[in-house]
Amino acid sequence: MAKKLNLDLLNKVWALAEQGTEGERDAARNRAEALVKPHGYTVADVPDLLLTEGYLDEEPAPSAGGFTFYDMSNPAHQRAYAEAERKKQAAWRMANRAKIDEVLARYGSEEAVFAYTAEEKAYDAAIKPFHKKGKAGQCDTWDGEHFSATAKVRAALATVKPWPDNIPDAIAEYEYWEKLYDDRNIADSNGQWDYLTQGADFRHRALGDLINKELEARNLSDVIVRLRFQEASQGIYDDSASILRDLERLHEAENSQRLKSTSGDISPDRGSLAASVGKVGGAENRATSEAQNMGNPHGMDPSDLRSEERLSSTSPPLSKLDTATKRRAEVVRILQTAEGMRMPLRAVAQMVGVSPTTVGNIKRRIRLVAP
């Protein structure tokens, strides 16, 4: 690296360039140019260099915490940053030579690594109608956006290849673009630039959004895949609300399915209402019933009687409950009400035409699957 610029000497030389004779001025300007050129400046920069008393030639120094701030409006900082980056890349190449060699061997050459793929070209062509050149100092846009694909841009990208409709397929395509980016980054000595074309970059980012929050998880496996994706992104994708929505929806579906299975597992009841009531007439059941129902011919207290009357008014006639499946479904319907859960098993059994044992089994299983 060139020695630090001698500002004192430059100041004396420039004084001659401004105040000396004609011959002295020309010689002084040439001398000044020779002094500043090794530092990346021209003669036109000399007045500013002297005005700032060398600020523009002061290289950045690490802070107490070890972080170096680069003022990219300062040419000296620009040079220091570029030099630091060259050293970092050289060190990275030495530590990752095997990775670089593997990538180059797989593609055949460095040029092949960076050659745009057919998909990249197709995606760029699809979004071209939405391109708008940015003004000076501004980014180009596609349908008004630079970083994320709008609905119109997404629709255009889908004409090349439809969007995945499930999380595993979206992950597979996302990882394809990640791999292409990583290969190019490795070949570029970890330069970490934008290595995908604009169309491919829009596709890549949109796939991340699909996985992160937009696609519906079909099962618990999808939820796990989504959560692992979010964790691996290190904060880029972190929509925890989508995980909660998935779990709540799957939990609700599981409870509903278990309730249906519970109803279907119960063996069909045989006989009519009279036969079912007759089963209670066994010695053991009769003794229990009489002990429970002394003083109340209905076997219920007044509040339970009112509950039975209300539920009876909403239940279909027994003639309509002509199959075991219908009778079981009616028991489930009654027991899913607060009044039905308070009623004695015998009362529900009489209303529907099943045995108290059947009602008891259904009641226990409903309690088991309740969240």
Q: Distance (Å, rounded) from C-alpha 269 to C-alpha 105?
A: 74
Query: From residue 53, how far is each of 2, 46, 49 by CA, in Å?
Result: 19, 11, 6
Instruction: Report residue 217 as tokens.
Output: 């998880």
> Would you state the pLDDT for residue 311?
58
pLDDT in tens, 225-251: 999 999 999 889 999 999 999 999 999
Helix (H) or strand (E) holding 92: helix 75-95
First to last CA, the chain: 72
> Would you state the pLDDT for residue 62?
74
The whole model's pTM is what?
A: 0.56
Helix (H) or strand (E) holding 132: strand 131-132
pLDDT in tens, 187-233: 999 988 899 999 999 999 999 999 999 999 999 999 999 999 999 99
Taking a C-beta distance cutoff of 8 angstroms, is the pair 359, 337 a contact?
no
Q: Is the pLDDT of residue 69 over 70?
A: yes
Helix (H) or strand (E) holding 131: strand 131-132
> Would you state the pLDDT for residue 206?
97
The Cβ of residue 159 has, within 10 Å, a number of other Cβ atoms equal to 11
Q: 49-53, 124-128, 130-134, 206-210: lowest mean pLDDT where? A: 49-53
Tell which residue, 256, 272, 355, has the closest CA to residue 319.
Answer: 272
132 forms beta bridges with: 141
Query: From residue 157, how far is each of 80, 118, 132, 151, 299 by CA, in Å?
Result: 42, 14, 17, 10, 71
Q: Is the pLDDT of residue 275 over 80?
A: no
> Would you state the pLDDT for residue 246?
92
pLDDT confidence tier of residue 84, bands split at 50, 70 and 90: confident
Question: Mean of the per-residue pLDDT values for the chain?
Answer: 81
Instruction: Report residue 17 as tokens.
Output: 């360039």
Q: 100-109, 177-186, 268-277: lowest mean pLDDT where? A: 268-277
